[in-house]
Amino acid sequence: HVQLQESGPGVVKPSETLSLICGVNGYTISRGYYWGWIRQPPGKGLEWIGSMYHSGKTFYNASLKSRVTLSIDTSQNQVSLKLTSVTAADTAVYFCARFDYGDLYSLDYWGQGTVVSVSS
Amino acid sequence: QSVVIQAPSLSGTPGQRVTVSCSGSSSNIGSNVVSWYQHLPGTAPKLLIFLNNQRPSGVPDRFSGSKSGTSASLAISGLQSEDEADYYCAVWDDSLNGLLFGGGTKLTVL
């Protein structure tokens, strides 16, 4: 059974960098699939941030690409998100999820999400 | 603003059949497969439909998906109170080279 768990600071100051980690249990990231992040601002819908393969191949949301970096640590079996120069508009629940790119094109396993507020 | 359009809200009564729709374009729904997600506040979104009309194990057959041209639909038959949730479609967009979510539809069971 695949389980994902997000972790990171709940509050980030404006202009600073948001950093989150997604730990994966029940599946070894280096075996396959893309792994990435989706967010939901308060009162709004889901927004895909980006997804990464263990080889380094990465897809990013074009609107966030200049500020986002995804990385994978296969030794820790985890995926990381860094979002720079945050503003209040980056306040959201951040989810990590497994993405079946190239085959089923669906997000089949999700974490419970972690709330991040951008505030001074 | 999302380029995959969903009606923001929908309502139905128990036992009724309702349809959630997504409207896209040739670069997304018109050329790629659609998935659907159910999201209850405070929980992880749940995959309901993949490959336009396939259900993962454990998803009741009351949920069904279809696609025609640049539109896709999720039908829920025998509506139950626990179906009250937000529903999102998602599709790869070849022009953006990224995954797009529809704006989401809030389903209320009256």
Q: What is the pLDDT of residues A42-93, one digit of tens each?
A: 999 999 999 999 999 999 999 999 999 999 999 999 999 999 999 999 999 9
Q: Please judge whether B44 and A46 are an interchain contact, meaning their C-beta atoms are less than 8 angstroms apart.
A: no
Is B85 a residue whose pLDDT tops 80? yes
Return the pLDDT at A53: 95
Mean pLDDT of B68-88: 98
By Cβ distance, the residue of B44, B51, B104 closest to A110 is: B44
Q: Which residue does chain A place closest to B94, by CA atoms? A: A59
Count of CB contacts below 8 A, A vs B?
70
Backbone conformation region of residue A15, classed left if phi is above 0, alpha if psi is from -120 to 50, else beta = left
Across residues A16-41, what is the average pLDDT?
A: 97
Q: How far apart are CA B37 and CA B39, in angstroms?
A: 6
- A58 CB near a chain B CB, below 8 Å? no
Are A72 and A29 a contacting pair, CB within 8 Å?
yes
Is the per-residue pLDDT at B1 higher than 60?
A: no
Determine contact: A5 vs chain B, CB below 8 A.
no
Does residue A100 register a pLDDT over 60? yes
Asked if A84 and A17 count as a contact pair (C-beta separation under 8 A), the reply is: yes
Check CB contact of B13 with chain A, cutoff 8 Å: no
Which whole number is the average pLDDT over B74-96?
97
- The mean pLDDT value for B37-60 works out to 96
- Tell me which of A3, A106, A115 to substitute to probe the interface with B (most B C-beta atoms closer than 10 Å): A106
- Per-residue confidence at B50, pLDDT binned at 50, 70, 90? very high
Q: pLDDT tens for residues A61-72?
A: 999 999 999 999
Averaged pLDDT for residues A17-46? 97
Angle at CA A88, nearest 5°, toward A86 and A89?
Answer: 85
Both tokens of residue B109? 């069971």
Average pLDDT, chain A: 96
Query: According to the model, what pLDDT value does residue B2 have?
Result: 53
> For residue B101, what are the CA distances in angstroms to A42, A81, A118, B28, B97?
16, 20, 24, 11, 13
pLDDT, average across residues A22-41: 96
